[in-house]
Each structure stands twice: as C-alpha cells, then as structure tokens.
Structure 1
Amino acid sequence: MHRLLRPAVTLVVILAGALVVAEPAAAALPATVRAMTWNICGASAAACEGKGSASQKINSIVQQVRSDPGIGVIMIQETCAHLHSNPLATALTNATGATWHVSHRTARSISSGQAIECTFDGAGQRDAGVAVLMRSQADEQIETFTQTFASSPNPSASQGWACIKDRGNKIVACSVHLLRPEDDPDDAIKRASLRDMLSELKQWQDFYGYRTIVGGDFNIDDGGAALDPIQAFAHEVDEDDNCNTTGLSCGLLGNKYDHIFYGRRAWLQSTGDAGSDGGGLSDHRRLIGQAAPRNQNEVNAAVAGTPPSGLPCVSNTYVTVCWENSGDRIWVRDDESDGKRAVAEWFAGANRSDYWRNGICNNSLGSGVWGQCNKDMVEGSEIGLRGTRLNGGAFTDSTSMLYTIV
C-alpha cells in the first residue's frame, strides 16, 4: 500500500456570508441526471425588450420540466432573484410535487463593484445574476452557496457562480455567466474565472469525491481555445456542436455560447442538444443534456470485527476510520456514546479515467465497537475516505481525509 502525502486541502465556500467547510457524503443516485441551462434574458429591460414577461419565462420552464420530467438540475442566467429564481423554485415545486432547491448569486459591476440592478420590472432591486435549481431526491443533504473567483483582476466584481451541493448523493451543480467580450476585451477576467472554476471542480471531484456539473453562458464559442482545459476535464453536452444556442436555427447565424460540463471521472459520456428559445422569450436557446453516474453509490452495513494493528487511520472525538489494504477493508469505530451512528465515507478512482465508485460504510454496532466493510477495489486506484457521524439524517463532525493507493 502506498500512502499519499498530500498537502492539506480545505475547500472553503461562501455561504450566507460565513465560511463553511465542505462535507461530502453518499447515498442513492438516479440512473441518469438530466440538466438544462438557459440564459433567460430576464434582467435588462432594454436588452430584453419584447422577450416576454417574468411569468411567461417561468411558465415556459415549468412546461419544459413537465414534458421532460427527468430534468433534475436547471441553470439560468440573466435572472432576477425576486422575479425569476425564487418564484421559479416555488412554481416547479407546485407543478411537480417535489421540492426544488435554489441558489441565486447576484452579479456585481466590474467597474463599481456594485450589485447589478434588475431593470426588467423597474422595481430598482439589485438582484440580477445567475441561479441553479435542483430537484429534491432521496437521501439528499442540500447546501446552497455562492462563490467569487479569487484570482480575478477584480475579485469583488469577478464572475462567480451559484451552486447547490447535494452531500447525500455526491453531486455539486453550478450556474455561471462569464463576461461578454466588450466588457472584458483582453479576456483577463474570463481567463481567471475559468482557471478558478476548473480548480474548484477538480477539488470537489478529486479530493472529496463529488460528481460535478457546471453550466451556463460562457460567452465562448465551442471552438474557443479558452475552453480546452475544462473540455479535457469534463464531458461536454453536445460535444459535436450540432446546434448553436444563439441564432435563428442550428448552424445558422449563431454561436454555441452556452455549455454544460459533467466531470469525466465520475460521469459516463454525456449526450444532449440545443432546444427551444421558449417561443421568442430569449435571445438564447436552451441546452439540455444528461449523463449517467459511472457507478451508483454503495451503502453497506458494517460487520463487527477487530482490525489489525498498524493501519493508516484518521479520527476525531466521535469516529475513527482506517483502511486495510489486504482485503480492501474499510474499518470504522464509533468513539462517542451519544446514540449517533459512525460512518466511513469513501470514494475510489480519482486518479483514473476508467473507474469511479463511492459509498458509505455504516457502523450501527454501538459505541466502542469496530465494524468493517469488505470492498473489492481495482488495483492501483486511489482511495479517499474519512469518518463522520449520522445525526438526525445529516452527516456532521467529519474527520480529515485519508488518501491511499490500493
């Protein structure tokens, strides 16, 4: 067994003004996850004149989901929180019977740093930006957050994203809108945003075992070299660029500025294509795609036993987890007599492009009792695992991560 000596990596996100450390977990997943991105042209009264009302845009998305109930993630841009993002979550919840979670990020001016005003309804509210919505599913643990891209030449006004992290099902989805060429003529902010975006996606996937989805209006055509790094990291919906997302029709007078990316290691090849503009409701067409998780999440009940000495372990006050390379066993012990179960979270294959698994080993044997889950991993795969405890259906009080090679 080879222990990986990595520098400590902590993923810090901005959540309602507070600093929060990401806490991954694992549970069941659907066979495929369908996602849609659409620049709804809903923020500017001047630029979006004649593009329909807010209610028409919301109703159009609701009808799309009704006709395509597999859609579970929606990214929208040029959206106002009070007009579109929040009412859309309510409308989708009412229409589908499933709770829809929403995360909205208000954009800021690159010149003043001031929040962008939504002029669509003349109300003077400064809440124009991007949003991501996610349909509720079994065993979810939802965290919504927004984030700026810190390496931007103007971080306070950088192009960031709105994200939803489903810790139970190991999915993180984000919506982004990068600057237009006329607002960023040397592409300095755009390049910095793309670098930071890719760095975060890699951390979520490779260090914490998340399946990543990012979509939005990148303001970069599909052939643009700036997208090469993220295209190498992720499957792109409509990779063959059969349809543009701006313009009159496929291949005519338009560009593919809208993109959806699924991380390659955790998702199988994605498929999809451009869809409707909502009947003239936007100057962009929807992009819709899907991908299948490389493996379903695995949930196992730990069997009582005694681990051999000398194993690599991580622990805190509440839980200890260890990895036994001989037999590919995950060991977990509940170190606190408080009625909460000890759990080992794990994922395998972050160093490979052909292998990905993740799951939990659940110890309900009682305080002080070791339990083990016997897994069969592919030789040479990297394993990441850590301990946490199950508290009222939520995973809390996690240990640091332990990384090793099978």
Structure 2
Amino acid sequence: MRVSLSRVCRVAAVPLLSALLLTGSGTATAAEAPDLPERVSALTWNLCGGYQGCVEWGKPQEKVDWVVKAVEDDPGVAVIMLQEVCLGLHTEPLQERLGDQWQVQFRAAPNTSTPQDPNDLTPCSADTRALPPGDAPSPLLGDDEQGHDQRVQAGGRRDLAGVLVAMKKLPGSELHPVNMTFVQDPQQGAACIKDTGNLLFACSSHFMNKNADPDGTSRVTSGHNFRDQTVHLQAQGYRTIIGGDLNATPDSEPLQPLYDGNFEADVNMKRPTFSGQKLDHILFGDYGWDLLGASVHFAGEMQGMSSIETYFGRKLSDHWMLKGSVTPTA
C-alpha cells in the first residue's frame, strides 16, 4: 500500500564546504529538472567482502551476481549502495556488469589503524590475487569536496576496501561522482554521485562498528556530518537518497540527526538486517519524495531458499539487503 507523506524541506546552517558539492556548470534548477520515473528504488547491502574471514569472502563473483540480479529483477532500481566492498574484486566487476547505463563510484576507506598517516588506505585482505598495481588509477576512484583525490593516494592499486554507490543514467542525467569526507571526522565519509540534470543526489556510507567505536563518539559525529553535508543540497532542490551500514539502530543517538530532513525507507516496520538488529538504512530526503514501501532480501532467494534455509545454510553475507521505493513529488 502506498503511504503518502507530507514533507517539508528544512533549511539549516551547515558547514560552508558542503556547498562545494554543488559547484560545476550545467546544474538544472528545480523547475528545469526533467521528471523522474514514477517509481524510484534504492538498495543497500553490506556484502561482507572486504576481509578474509567474512562470510563467503572468497566468492566475490557470486556477491556481484546477486546485486546484478536484484537490479534485473526490479527495473525501478536507480541507486545501489554497497559496503565492505573491494575495488578490484567487486566494484570494477559491478561497473562492467551493469554497463554504460550506470555510473559506479568507489570510496576507499582510510586506514584507521594508522591515523598518523591520513593518506593510508585500507587494504582488501580478501583480494588474494597479489596483482601488481596497474599503470593508472581506477576510473572509479575520485576526489572529495575538499579536493582530496584518492586517485593520487591509491595510484594503480586495486586491493583496496571501502564503499560504493551506483546510479542509473536516467533520461536527462548529468552524473558527477564525488566523495564526501565528514568534516569533523575525516577518517569517515561516503561515496556519492550527484545528477545535476535531474537534481538527484545519492551517497553510501559505513559508520564504525561498536568494537572500533565503543562509546559511539565517531558514529554520532558521522550522523551529524552526513546530515549536515546533505541538507544543503535539499535546500537547493535536490532529491536525496543516503544510507548504508550505519552500525546504529533506529532509536540510537547516531541516527537521530539523520531523521531531521530525511525519513526511513522502512519507517513503519524497521526490519532487522543483521543478527536481529536493524543496522542498515536507506534515508530519503523529506523534499521531493513520497514513500511507497520497503523490503528485506536474503541471498538465498537467488537459489530459491527460504530465509531459514539461508540463515542456517548458505549465506553470501552476514547482512541482508534492504530495498526502499519512493515516488517523486513536486
């Protein structure tokens, strides 16, 4: 059943640098932006592929297969957000599989074990191919709004872990990949793409887990930064879709800032996505969307398994995939 929600765009003071996300020529105004499809879907999944020991870490192709299948099964999917992915194992193959009608953007995770070196990036231990660095950086890497260019940091390496966002090239699209580095916690951030033709903006992030952030300080800061660096775009007429594995439940402190200006895809059900908890989120901006619904999917569906069979038998990740759908409003 379609849930109609009355949304009001909230305009708030935000860090000046967030305005840099809007720089560039050819940006449409709200009145000029072409109509989006009647139904727009987004999915998020922590596919658990960035390190050895994760569920089915040695089967990267099957993880990519399931993402591609989810897109093929629902032509309305326009945004994909994935976490714990590797550049060479998952991100570049996904771009190849999705083809020219999609743009994929990767953000390598800074190596939090070496905070003294801000240029150090997290290696993908699941990539055991021991390939030498390529002659050029991956085209799926890029810079952020502060000018930090991960192509320079990574060089030709493909054995990097991080997050990705992918956006479909809709009619009228002008896609511009950009990374987001959180202002108050530069070790954290998001992979983002903005469509200046359709005024659409999407980001995928992965907040620290409880082991790495026992008092929640980093996650609370990330929640504020993620919201603040997105809300300015909403004020400019962008419809926004942000989310990922935020390692926080809906009632926890890190999520509260994100509910100011955004609403959950599964606001009514808040379905668990990880070990009985809801840690994965899709947040649609209050401006420009009405909610249609949400669903959780488990990897065994591809083989016709039930959720119980998948839980006790074959899994492709320790997280389940979340999908949310909205309809554009004026």
When normalised by structure 2's length, the TM-score is: 0.76
Pick the aligned partner of 2:324 from 289, 298, 304.
289
Structure with more strand by fraction: 1
Deviation at 1:79, TM superposition (A): 0.4
| Contact 2:43/2:77 (8 A) holds in 1 | yes
Q: Please state whether the residue corresponding to 1:64 is helix, strand or coil.
A: helix
Structure with more helix by fraction: 2
Pick the aligned partner of 2:192 from 160, 163, 171.
163
Partner of 1:177: 206
Letter of the 1:137 counterpart? L
Q: Structure with the greater relative contact order (CA < 8 A, sep ≥ 6): 1 or 2?
A: 2
Q: Distance in 1 between matches of 2:85 and 2:72?
A: 21
Partner of 2:303: none
Partner of 2:86: 80
Partner of 1:55: 61
| Contact 1:277/1:284 (8 A) holds in 2 | no
Partner of 1:256: 278
| Contact 1:149/1:196 (8 A) holds in 2 | yes
Following superposition of structure 1 onto structure 2, how do residues 22-37 of structure 1 map, counting pairs within 5 Å? 24-25=27-28, 26-37=33-44
Q: Which ranges of structure 1 fall in alignment gaps of 5 or more residues? A: 1-5, 15-19, 248-253, 296-406
Pick the aligned partner of 1:118 from 109, 124, 127.
124
Q: Please state whether the residue corresponding to 1:200 is helix, strand or coil.
A: helix
Partner of 1:230: 258
Q: Distance in 1 between matches of 2:57 and 2:159?
A: 20
When normalised by structure 1's length, the TM-score is: 0.62
Q: Distance in 1 between matches of 2:72 and 2:23?
A: 36
Deviation at 1:257, TM superposition (A): 0.3
Worse-superposed segment, 192-201 or 172-181: 192-201
Following superposition of structure 1 onto structure 2, how do residues 5-404 of structure 1 map, counting pairs within 5 Å? 11-13=18-20, 21=23, 24-25=27-28, 26-48=33-55, 50-51=56-57, 53-93=59-99, 99-113=101-115, 114-123=120-129, 125-152=158-185, 155=186, 158-206=187-235, 208-247=236-275, 254-278=276-300, 280-295=315-330
| Cα distance change of structure 1 residues 180 and 7 upon mapping to structure 2, 3 Å threshold | closer
Q: Distance in 2 between matches of 1:136 and 1:226?
A: 32
Q: Distance in 2 between matches of 1:44 and 1:21?
A: 36
| Contact 2:270/2:278 (8 A) holds in 1 | no
- After TM superposition, where is structure 1 displaced by more than 4 Å over at least 4 residues in a row? 6-10
Q: Distance in 2 between matches of 1:258 and 1:70?
A: 20
1:302-337 residue CA offsets vs partner (Å, 9 max, x unmatched): xxxxxxxxxxxxxxxxxxxxxxxxxxxxxxxxxxxx
Deviation at 1:8, TM superposition (A): 11
> How many matched pairs?
270
| Cα distance change of structure 1 residues 51 and 243 upon mapping to structure 2, 3 Å threshold | farther
Deviation at 1:68, TM superposition (A): 1.4
Give the RMSD, CA atoms, in angstroms.
2.3
Q: Distance in 1 between matches of 2:254 and 2:122?
A: 26
Q: Distance in 2 between matches of 1:31 and 1:176?
A: 26
Q: Distance in 2 between matches of 1:51 and 1:70?
A: 29
Q: Please state whether the residue corresponding to 2:54 is helix, strand or coil.
A: coil
| Contact 1:277/1:283 (8 A) holds in 2 | no
| Contact 1:145/1:163 (8 A) holds in 2 | yes
Deviation at 1:204, TM superposition (A): 0.6
1:212-247 residue CA offsets vs partner (Å, 9 max, x unmatched): 100200000122133122123212011123521013
Deviation at 1:13, TM superposition (A): 4.9
Deviation at 1:52, TM superposition (A): 5.2
| Cα distance change of structure 1 residues 7 and 221 upon mapping to structure 2, 3 Å threshold | closer
Q: Distance in 1 between matches of 2:244 and 2:169?
A: 21
Letter of the 2:101 counterpart? T
| Contact 2:58/2:126 (8 A) holds in 1 | no
Identity across matched positions, percent: 34
Letter of the 1:280 counterpart? K
Q: Distance in 1 between matches of 2:272 and 2:282?
A: 13
Greater Rg by CA: 1
Letter of the 2:205 counterpart? V
Q: Distance in 1 between matches of 2:15 and 2:252?
A: 34
| Cα distance change of structure 1 residues 232 and 199 upon mapping to structure 2, 3 Å threshold | closer
Deviation at 1:160, TM superposition (A): 0.3
